Amino acid sequence: MHDGCTGPSADGQMVVNKVRMMGFHLQPMPFPLEINCSECENAFQMVNFEAACPECGMVYGVTPCSADNAANVKAAGIGF
């Protein structure tokens, strides 16, 4: 059993692991978010709850409950 969208969310790897565990990582978000990569500063659209920067491969995740704001998207690491 998972704890939904509650729990620790400050760490990007924890967020991505949670989204994967819940089975949402490949599902499209209600609205795409414009993300500025924290590694290479490339701007791209995040359309799924897990996405990678097309330039450098930095992986990002956001829980479904927090997907309404790009500030909630967390970086997990390149190639994570």
CA–CA separation, 17 and 14 (whole Å): 5
User: What DSSP element (H or E) covers 77?
Assistant: strand 74-78
Residue 19 lies in a domain: no
**What's the domain count of the chain?**
1
For residue 1, the model assigns a pLDDT of 36
Residue 40 lies in a domain: yes
Residue 11 lies in a domain: no
Residue 5 lies in a domain: no
- Alpha-carbon distances, residue 26 vs 6, 39, 61 (angstroms): 20, 22, 11
Residue 23 lies in a domain: no
Range of the domain at 67: 28-78
Residue 59 lies in a domain: yes
Note down pLDDT in tens along the chain; length 80 residues.
Answer: 345 565 556 799 999 999 999 999 999 999 999 999 999 999 999 999 999 999 999 999 999 999 999 999 999 999 99
Residue 6 lies in a domain: no
Residue 42 lies in a domain: yes
- Alpha-carbon distances, residue 70 vs 1, 2, 40, 46, 65 (angstroms): 27, 24, 17, 9, 12
**pTM confidence score:** 0.89
